[in-house]
């Protein structure tokens, strides 16, 4: 639970920070730049996480009217979440390497190492999953930003139906093998980057 909350909170806070740096104060005004998990929990998303193993946090509010270039601002704000998960995974793996290399072996240190590595895998999984270009995931906002304005506006109108498609994909297990392979490959790459 602590690992999942850490990954979700970092992800959502970084969406808010990116939007704030691009000129949108909405997340700050909504107290969503906080690391307090209570500010980010969606009760139904939390319930679904416990019941079916797939849930979500409360999306950070973003108002693209504050951005000088709304499409690009939305894309950068969307990318901030997955990128933060990849950076968090690198930090966790580096900390895991330090524990492995320098901490004397004990049950407590073994639990700490397991926590760090497990959280790194969860963070990578969350980052990669959010890059899938199905609304409301972050990858869709990046993909939409590449479309001409007319197509972009059309896609935004139908974005709410993406959640149904996403539920179908998750519940039917479509792409599970590819996602697992992507997580494994990225995890091994990041382990090599930190020398672990």
Residues recognised as catalytic: 12
* CA atoms of 50 and 144, how far apart (whole Å): 32
- Picking from 50, 29, 25, 53, the residue whose alpha carbon sits closest to that of residue 39 is 29
- Picking from 12, 33, 35, 27, the residue whose alpha carbon sits closest to that of residue 64 is 27
CA 155 to chain centre: 22
Structure tokens at 54: 């797939």
CB atoms within 10 A of CB 51: 9
Contacts of residues 109-116 at CB distance under 8 Å and 24 or more positions apart, as own/partner, are 115/2, 115/3, 116/92
């Amino acid at each position: 639970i602590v690992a999942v909350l850490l990954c979700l909170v970092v992800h959502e806070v970084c969406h808010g920070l990116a939007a704030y740096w691009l000129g949108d104060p909405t997340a700050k005004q909504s107290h969503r730049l906080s690391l307090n998990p209570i500010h980010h929990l969606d009760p139904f998303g939390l319930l679904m996480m416990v019941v079916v193993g797939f849930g979500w946090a409360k999306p950070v509010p973003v108002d693209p009217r504050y951005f000088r270039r709304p499409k690009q601002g939305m894309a950068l704000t969307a990318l901030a979440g997955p990128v933060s998960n990849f950076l968090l995974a690198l930090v966790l793996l580096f900390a895991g390497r330090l524990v492995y290399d320098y901490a004397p072996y004990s049950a407590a240190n073994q639990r700490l190492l397991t926590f760090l590595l497990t959280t790194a895998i969860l963070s990578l999984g969350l980052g990669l999953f959010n890059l899938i270009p199905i609304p409301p995931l972050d990858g869709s906002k990046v993909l939409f930003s590449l479309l001409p304005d007319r197509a972009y506006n059309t896609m935004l109108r139908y974005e709410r139906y993406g959640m149904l498609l996403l539920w179908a994909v998750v519940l039917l297990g479509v792409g599970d093998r590819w996602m697992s392979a992507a997580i494994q490959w990225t995890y091994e790459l990041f382990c090599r980057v930190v020398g672990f």
